[in-house]
Amino acid sequence: MTEQAAQSVVEVGVPRVWSDRSLWARASVGIVRFLKSKPLGTFGILVIGVMLIMAIFANQLDRYDPKLVFKGGGPNPNYDAELAAKAKTDISVRLQHDELVFIEFLDDVILANERPSSEHWLGTDTFGRDLYARIIHGARVSLYVGIGAALLAVIVGTVLGVVSAYFSGVVDVVIQRFVDSLQAFPGLILLLLMIQVVDQPSLPYITLALGILGIAPVIRIVRSAVLTTREETYILAARSVGASDGRIMMSHILPNIMAPIIVIFSTSISVYVLAEAGLAFLGFGDPTAISWGKMVNEGRLLGASEPLMALWTGLAITIAVLGFSLFGDALRDALDPRLRGRGGGRPGF
């Protein structure tokens, strides 16, 4: 049998194995299986997708300018001319009735705390601004801080973690003492101290502060992964053929520890979104930004009489944090070798 005929027999008689498929084919099949086997993770992906659409197309979805103050127009149906005339000479009359009774036209009256309607789907806030538009634009701030802080923490933490574990010795000691110094203080206290350094914290500065706080746990996790990887046979083989330290770290170690790094990144976004909302709620956020946390605080000041503002914004924060958390947990289950195969079927990735 010729070589060409033998090859044809193999191609016809032996089906292609999983490893023979292209990268895109394997990725597509893996994503489909992930979506089918992880329904909670799929819900998280949908939430993340909606948030991304809100953030990217906020100017097309907002309906109104989020900073526009709505005011009433035309005659006031509650106006009482007789009481208004009496109030000019008797101040006690004004104290006994609502202020709207004495206003003839509503042109200068702010439509504050309006109920949901066809014009304002979620109502208005204390300053007469459309709540729906402000929640849409608030998604931009949450994603900006959440993804930005997560990228900073993961990139810097991964570099330091790999270097610390690979070189060991003095380098490891110095980096680990840096980690200990970051973790010696309670996270909230250290964060507030960093925020108080500047007179008016901006979103980039808040993102930087949150990212710095997240470096220490990333270093710990990456260092542990590298310590178990650097003594593998393929690493020893690369050293024996004269591969440089940089090449070994970039080409052999880093690709094999990407699973925990991806999980850290995906799960930490929800933490940073919640942290930014907490800072804004306490009054330490960017005063010029449309932040969900600041909106919840403004709604809280209204009390139980006007609960919608705090309700809608708090619901947005809850769904966003829940979406990122569910996706991160599902991704961890799919990438963690100890959890693969639960529930039967091929792993998601």
One domain for residues 106 and 130 = no
One domain for residues 213 and 281 = yes
pLDDT lower than 70: segments of the chain: 1-23, 73-74, 76, 100, 104-108, 337-349
CATH number at residue 42: 1.10.3720.10
Q: What is the pLDDT of residue 74?
A: 65
One domain for residues 206 and 300 = yes
Closest by CA position to 252, among listed 162, 171, 338: 162
One domain for residues 154 and 299 = yes
pLDDT tens track for 230-276 = 888 888 898 888 889 899 999 999 989 998 999 999 999 999 999 99
Per-position b or e across 68-94, b if 16+ CB within 10 A of its CB: eebebeeebeeeeeeebeebeeeeebb
One domain for residues 177 and 285 = yes
Residues pairing with 105 in the sheet: 75
Closest by CA position to 333, among listed 28, 36, 18, 34: 34
Average of per-residue pLDDT values in the chain = 85
pLDDT tens track for 121-151 = 999 998 889 999 999 999 999 999 999 999 9
Contacts of 260 (CB under 8 A, 6+ apart): 221, 222, 225, 335
Dist. CA 328–CA 244, nearest whole Å: 34
From the centroid of its chain, how far is CA 294? 16
User: The whole model's pTM is what?
Assistant: 0.80
Dist. CA 51–CA 110, nearest whole Å: 30
The verdict on residue 145 lying in a domain is yes
One domain for residues 106 and 151 = no
| Structural domain for 81, as ranges | 74-111
Q: What is the pLDDT of residue 6?
A: 47
One domain for residues 191 and 98 = no
Dist. CA 284–CA 210, nearest whole Å: 13
The verdict on residue 14 lying in a domain is no
